Structure 1
Amino acid sequence: MDATAGKELTAVEQMLCKAFPDVGPFGTSALEKALRKLEKFELACQGDDWADPECKATNTEALQYARARAVVKGLSWSLRESLQARGRTGTIERLMEEPFLGKSNATKIVEIFQTGTCQRTLARFERGEAPLDSEGNVRMWAHRHEHKATRPMTDGPAKVELSSVLCISAMTAIKLVHERNIRSIAQLRDRPEIVRELHGGHRLDHSLRFHEQLQEPVPAEDACEMLKTVRETVRALRVPRAAGWHAELVGGGRTRGRAGHDVDILLWHKEEMASFLSSQGPVFVLDILLGVLVEQGRVLPKGEAYFSRKCVASRHDDPRPYLRQIHMAQESSKGFENLQYDHHDKFFGIWRSARTGKLHRIDLVVCSHPEELPFARLAWTGTRTLNRLMRLRAIDLGLYLGAHCFVARGDREGTTETKVVVDAQAGRPPEVITLGKLEPLPFKYVQSEEDILRVLACGTNAFAKLVDPTNRNA
């Protein structure tokens, strides 16, 4: 049985049926980079959509470019061959048959593919000018202007450069450009009095000094050394069943087979939670691990560099409160929910290579509870765009999909039951589970990423291409 048979697919379903390899067969890498650059310009000029305390609204333009890039990655046909056979107009029309693409973005895709740029948007952004909208009008202000969040769409390159520094948010970069006339990292380095005023203190000072080093892709040898050291160290800790801890690469290390400018490592145990109880309260495995890694000189300490740690004690409550929160019935899945409700223990910091002495960024995630592993693995493998698509699909099914579980959203006004098809494969009757509002789907039905994708596909294998993490580069 195929969930896609006999019915018109939604845009989200169409996307989840695709594969998104790191490098596709049709020579679109330059186009994908240009669309990613447009997304970055929108995020830098408008303020990122989930880190914006002034107005938690969706950055619609950035989202459109992210989706357009994913569509290009997932194309099953060649743009070049289509242009030769159908011409420009025919290819634009063909792109408009793909999910999420209207005429404006389809036209941009063809223009960038043919010329390397888009005069209305990318070329203007790169010159520091505000882009033009689909009608040719200058988009001088971010769409949040109507919410009294006045942000000019000019000076894109300066904002992108400044917000690339660890500890400088898009909002801070906007203020540096328009309130302090700082337009480059070099200028900011020459103004230590401004650096001292910014939130971040010594961490920002360290990030500025080592910015270029922290932006370099992490060499494969160092990524392997980081993984090996973390795995060996956690297994040597004085914690229950220490030898049973596992460490694996997630993020780009899993989807692309190589790290980017940081290394993401997921730690998990088949029997143990991310913390255990002592007479003084919860003891976090992550804290003990970080203590040893700092002592070894591998992780830079809090007083020296960027060091962000978040641990959660509520996993010891029964039931776990983060599995039944009212926000799950209200999530829009448009942006800022991405990591806001992730309750796995996490650390974001700086690693010193034992091989070269160079500094690299490292993210450590400790799976909160053994049975939550498939959800943690799926969420932290990503990509962000794919996570959004999967959450939107879950909403269509009356479910909330987070980094811990599936939860029935129910009706906002009542307690409507939600029916979940967990298995509808050929040769056997469909298995349907009925859940009450904010009731988690029992973990016995979702013991792998493949199981999660099958639930999203109404019990079928319609989304099976995404089981392979190298097909998740949306």
Structure 2
Amino acid sequence: MALVPLKRRRRASSPPAGPPGPGRFPAVVLCLVEKRMGASRRAFLTQLARAKGFRVDRAYSAAVTHVVSEQNSGAEVAQWLEQQREECGAEGDPALLDISWFTESMGAGRPVEIESRHRLRGGWQMAPYACQRRTPLLHSNQPLTEALETLAEEAGFSGSEGRSLAFTRAASVLKALPGRLSTLEELGPLPGIGEHSRRVIQDVLEDGVCAEVERVKLSERYQTMKLFTKIFGVGVRTASRWYQEGLRTLVDLQERGTKLTRQQQAGLRHYDDLNTPVERGEAESISRAVQGAVQRCLPGTSVTLAGGFRRGKPHGHDVDLLLTHPEAGREAGLLSRVVSWLDSQDLILYQHSQENSYALQEGPEPPGGRDVMDRFERCFSIFRLEVQGGPGAARGWKAVRVDLVVAPISQFPFALLGWTGSRHFERELRRFASHERKMVLNSHALYDSRRVWQLWAYVGTWG
């Protein structure tokens, strides 16, 4: 019996590497997830969509506006999207859609409006600690996070640190979401979002604003506290006392002869400048000036721009600079010489220095005690920066807040981490170290708290 030759199965042709063009709908760029869809079906759907005038990209990029998946949960596609972003280095905020949207769009011959039923369900997955999550500088839920951060700030003004932290944690979760939140149900059981935060989120999603947040913004106390705490050297406690005394404006502080510290006097005198955003170019200019002073005083010393600028922000409210020398101990006495030289060049409008008060032999903070994060030698200063335009252009300069921090080389990695921020990221990192690793992390060191306390308990028996 003659054997009938088997027909070779034709391989599905892969779509071209690049898109054929913008198509009929230039505002829509599709990317099909191959997982569970398969290469053959993906190739077929790609050809179908292109035939109907849709642009379909084979690989994910920042241009992609719609990610279409079949038989995958929202969490799975969100994870896929994170991997794609890491591989190609592209951001973007595409809609994560079920194949049903694609099918309806093909039937209509145009992109149909995205409805709630089209969006992938199953909830987003989220690590419990903010330090484990990827948080982009620009995110898709700005109105929601601004509302929560307003309530966090108001809670802080009222002395309720617990409420303030709860709203801050909820806002950090929304910042880390891979896409724009459309309904409250999409949050699922994500960590860090309590009932109060969910009510705020629902109000903003449904009405565009939250009545509670609007009341806070319009309240006299909130506006006054916000005004006073923007003064260099004024904290919540001082601002609250001034409010209780009936002070409401900056003019009130001057006319009523309010007793101010030297730091607060400088902050009030340069209030407008210090509350004008510092641009990256300005921060780098100040960094170069400090670097020049440092090299005059101690060649080989490094100056590192930290804070929000190190995180990639284009502007900030101050400039944080870390100074260290590769030889242990050489940094001693450096700060005073640097500040004196800068002052001699008329670059310092105000300065107040503090000595290094950290010593490992003092032992760690007691369990549950106050967490002193930073005891480095430092100088809180107001820098005189020459400018060509913008605020201060008429007089040729503007005042800028600058913190100079000296870290011994052995502690520099921890100092750099601590001074890079953000504040919430650092808080969560310490919480992770404590709860998950049973270790203590601060801007000076990382150590096993159990072993240190065992050692100190043993040493204590000698006395």
Asked if Structure 1 and Structure 2 have the same fold, meaning a TM-score greater than 0.5 normalized by the shorter chain, the answer is yes
Match of 2:334 among 279, 282, 285: 285
Alignment-mate amino acid for residue 221 of structure 1: G
Alignment of 1:205-244 (within 5 A): 205-237=265-297, 242-244=298-300
Match of 2:216 among 113, 120, 125: 125
Alignment partners' CA distance in 2, 1:285 and 1:370: 14
- Per-residue deviation at 1:347? 1.3
Alignment-mate amino acid for residue 252 of structure 2: Q
SS at match of 1:308: strand
Alignment partners' CA distance in 2, 1:204 and 1:323: 35
Rg comparison, structure with higher value: 2
SS at match of 2:173: helix
Alignment partners' CA distance in 2, 1:216 and 1:243: 33
Alignment of 1:45 onto 2:158: yes
Which digits, 9 at most, give the CA deviation of each residue in 1:417-473, with x for residues without a partner? Answer: xxxxxxxxxxxxxxxxxxx6799xxxxxxxxxxxxxxxxxxxxxxxxxxxxxxxxxx
Alignment partners' CA distance in 1, 2:381 and 2:171: 29
Whether contact under 8 Å (2:328, 2:410) holds in the other structure is no
SS at match of 2:348: coil
Whether contact under 8 Å (2:378, 2:405) holds in the other structure is yes
Structure 1 segments unaligned to the other structure (5+ residues): 1-9, 47-57, 129-153, 277-283, 315-320, 416-435, 440-474
Alignment of 1:182 onto 2:219: no
SS at match of 1:162: helix
Alignment-mate amino acid for residue 256 of structure 1: G
Match of 1:353 among 385, 395, 398: 385
The match for 2:133 is: 18
The match for 2:111 is: none
- Per-residue deviation at 1:365? 1.1
TM-score by length of 2: 0.65
Whether contact under 8 Å (2:128, 2:192) holds in the other structure is no
The match for 2:364 is: 326
RMSD of aligned C-alpha atoms? Answer: 2.7
Change (3 A) 1:116 1:365: farther
- Per-residue deviation at 1:293? 0.7
Whether contact under 8 Å (2:305, 2:319) holds in the other structure is yes
Alignment of 1:25-424 (within 5 A): 27-46=140-159, 59-80=161-182, 83=183, 88=184, 90-91=185-186, 94-95=187-188, 97-119=189-211, 121-128=212-219, 155-179=221-245, 181-191=246-256, 193-194=257-258, 197-198=259-260, 200=261, 202-237=262-297, 242-273=298-329, 275-276=331-332, 284-300=333-349, 305=350, 307-312=351-356, 321-322=359-360, 325-327=363-365, 329-331=366-368, 337=371, 340-355=372-387, 356-367=396-407, 369-396=408-435, 397-410=437-450, 415=454
Q: How many residues align?
A: 325
Moved more, 167-176 or 224-233: 167-176
- Per-residue deviation at 1:381? 0.2
Which digits, 9 at most, give the CA deviation of each residue in 1:218-238, with x for residues without a partner? Answer: 13332111000111110111x
Alignment-mate amino acid for residue 17 of structure 1: Q
Alignment partners' CA distance in 2, 1:17 and 1:33: 22
User: Runs in 1 of length 4+ with deviation above 4 angstroms?
Assistant: 10-14, 436-439
Alignment partners' CA distance in 1, 2:330 and 2:313: 26
Alignment partners' CA distance in 1, 2:193 and 2:231: 32
Whether contact under 8 Å (2:385, 2:397) holds in the other structure is yes
Alignment partners' CA distance in 2, 1:359 and 1:377: 25
Which digits, 9 at most, give the CA deviation of each residue in 1:253-303, with x for residues without a partner? Answer: 111333312111111222243644xxxxxxx21111111111111112xxx
Alignment partners' CA distance in 2, 1:372 and 1:256: 23
SS at match of 2:299: helix
- Per-residue deviation at 1:401? 0.2
Alignment-mate amino acid for residue 373 of structure 1: F
Alignment-mate amino acid for residue 186 of structure 1: V
SS at match of 2:440: strand
- Per-residue deviation at 1:311? 1.7
Change (3 A) 1:206 1:65: same
Whether contact under 8 Å (1:407, 1:438) holds in the other structure is no
Change (3 A) 1:74 1:102: same
- Per-residue deviation at 1:204? 2.5
Indicate the percent of aligned positions where both proteins have the same amino acid. 23
SS at match of 2:248: coil
Change (3 A) 1:403 1:111: same
TM-score by length of 1: 0.63
Alignment partners' CA distance in 2, 1:174 and 1:313: 29
Whether contact under 8 Å (2:357, 2:376) holds in the other structure is no
Which digits, 9 at most, give the CA deviation of each residue in 1:110-169, with x for residues without a partner? Answer: 3234434322x31221232xxxxxxxxxxxxxxxxxxxxxxxxx7221112112111222
SS at match of 1:407: strand
Alignment partners' CA distance in 2, 1:229 and 1:391: 34
- Per-residue deviation at 1:184? 2.0
Alignment-mate amino acid for residue 219 of structure 1: E
Whether contact under 8 Å (1:247, 1:267) holds in the other structure is yes
Higher relative contact order (CA 8 A, sep 6+): 1
Alignment partners' CA distance in 2, 1:73 and 1:222: 28
